[in-house]
Structure 1
């Protein structure tokens, strides 16, 4: 298995209508989260503790919420909020 990220829940639907520049910023930050999680949790499937608490990240144009699931080696983008600034 290899670390990656994906949209889930309503974020996937919201991403279909969000501006491309905003989505590019989300994807850039999600890639950074994947690299950080991969470095911190080297043996993801063998992880035997609780997953870390999710958080929100502000990007130009809005924000997004994410959750890391270590055993699945995934960063899930669970919500995106486009504010248009």
Structure 2
């Protein structure tokens, strides 16, 4: 398995109606998070500790909240908020 990101919970539903420029910004930052996690947790599947704390990232037009699950080698986008600016 390889590191990836995905929308979960309400974020998947919200992504269906969000503007494409905003989603492009979210997806670009999510890809950066995946690369950082991949470099930090080289042996993610063998990880036996606790998962790191998630966080929020501001992007043009809004923000998103994410959680990292190391053993699954995933960055989950759990909420997106489009503010329209």
TM-score range, shorter chain: over 0.9
The two structures, once aligned, show a CA RMSD in angstroms of 0.3
Instruction: Name structure 1 gaps, 5 residues minimum.
Output: none
Instruction: Name structure 2 gaps, 5 residues minimum.
Output: none
In structure 2, the partner of 1:49 is 49
Partner-residue secondary structure (3-state), 2:50: coil
TM score, norm. by length of structure 2: 0.99
Partner-residue secondary structure (3-state), 2:39: helix
Whether 2:63 is the aligned partner of 1:63: answer: yes
Q: Distance in 2 between matches of 1:84 and 1:49?
A: 39
TM score, norm. by length of structure 1: 0.99
Aligned length: 85
Q: Distance in 2 between matches of 1:78 and 1:12?
A: 8
Partner-residue secondary structure (3-state), 1:50: coil
In structure 1, the partner of 2:2 is 2
In structure 1, the partner of 2:16 is 16
Deviation at residue 68 of structure 1 after TM alignment: 0.4
Q: Distance in 2 between matches of 1:36 and 1:61?
A: 23
